[in-house]
C-alpha cells in the first residue's frame, strides 16, 4: 500500500510541476507575441506647427476666394520654403548662455520670436470659373494678402 501511495503522490507532483512549467512558458512566450493596438494608437498622425499654419492659411484664402466669386468649388495649396524658426533669448552678460523659463520642474528655453517660413508658391484650382477678370482679381487679392509676387501664384480653372 505504501508503494501505491508514493505513485499517486509522484503523479500528482508530476502534474503540478507540469502545470507550473506550462504557465511559466506561457508567460515567457507572451512577451514575444505582438501587441494588439487599436487603429488610433498605431496610426497616430503628427501635426506640426507648420502644417497647422499652412492648413489655416489655405482655409482662409479658400473662404475669401469663395466670397469673391460666389463659387464653392475652389481648392488652395500653399508650399513653404523651410520651417518655423525659433529665436532664443541670449543672456547679454554671457554670450554663450541661453536664458530658460523654469516651470513645472522643467527648463524651457526662453523664445522671444518665431519666424514664419516664407511662401514658395500658391496653387489655386477654380473649376467653375472661366472669366479672365476673375482670375486676375483672385491673383491680385492672394498676392496682396500673402505679400508675395503674382508670379508665385498659379491659378487653374476648367469645368467641374
Q: Is 64 exposed, middle or buried (0-12, 13-18, 19+ CB in 10 A)?
A: middle
For residue 33, the 8-state DSSP code is S
Length of the chain: 160
- What would the pLDDT profile of 96-108 be if each residue is shown by its tens digit? 555 555 555 566 6
Q: Where does the pLDDT of residue 69 fall: very low under 50, low under 70, confident under 90, or very high at 90 and above?
A: confident
User: Residues 51, 148, 155, CA angle at the centre, nearest 5°?
Assistant: 80
Domain chopping of the chain, boundaries: 2-37, 45-82+117-160, 83-116
Query: Does domain 45-82+117-160 sit in CATH 3.30.930.10?
Result: no
Quick check: 19 pLDDT over 90?
no
Collapsing DSSP states into helix, strand and coil, what is residue 142? helix
Q: Where does the pLDDT of residue 51 fall: very low under 50, low under 70, confident under 90, or very high at 90 and above?
A: confident
Rounded distance between C-alpha atoms, residue 107 and residue 118, angstroms: 30
Cα-Cα-Cα-Cα dihedral sign, residues 10, 13, 17, 18: positive
Share of the chain above pLDDT 90, in %: 21
Give the pairing of strands 85-88 and 118-126.
Answer: unpaired
Q: Where does the pLDDT of residue 42 fall: very low under 50, low under 70, confident under 90, or very high at 90 and above?
A: very low
More reliable by pLDDT, 17 or 57: 57
Rounded distance between C-alpha atoms, residue 110 and residue 90, angstroms: 9
Residues with Cβ within 8 Å of 64's Cβ and at least 6 positions away in sequence, in order, are 141, 145
User: Residues 147, 150, 153, CA angle at the centre, nearest 5°?
Assistant: 95
Q: Residue 57's pLDDT is what?
A: 92
C-alpha cell at 37: 493596438
Q: Residue 24's pLDDT is what?
A: 82
Amino acid at each position: 500500500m505504501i508503494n501505491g501511495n508514493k505513485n499517486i503522490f509522484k503523479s500528482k507532483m508530476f502534474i503540478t510541476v507540469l502545470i507550473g512549467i506550462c504557465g511559466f512558458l506561457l508567460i515567457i512566450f507572451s512577451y514575444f507575441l505582438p501587441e494588439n493596438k487599436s487603429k488610433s494608437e498605431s496610426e497616430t498622425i503628427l501635426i506640426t506647427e507648420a502644417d497647422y499654419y499652412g492648413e489655416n492659411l489655405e482655409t482662409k484664402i479658400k473662404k475669401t476666394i469663395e466670397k469673391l466669386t460666389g463659387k464653392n468649388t475652389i481648392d488652395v495649396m500653399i508650399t513653404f520654403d523651410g520651417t518655423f524658426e525659433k529665436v532664443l533669448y541670449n543672456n547679454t552678460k554671457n554670450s554663450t548662455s541661453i536664458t530658460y523659463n523654469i516651470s513645472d520642474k522643467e527648463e524651457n528655453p526662453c523664445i522671444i520670436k518665431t519666424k514664419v517660413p516664407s511662401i514658395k508658391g500658391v496653387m489655386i484650382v477654380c473649376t467653375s470659373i472661366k472669366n479672365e477678370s476673375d482670375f486676375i482679381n483672385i491673383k491680385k487679392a492672394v498676392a496682396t494678402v500673402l505679400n508675395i509676387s503674382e508670379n508665385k501664384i498659379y491659378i487653374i480653372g476648367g469645368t467641374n
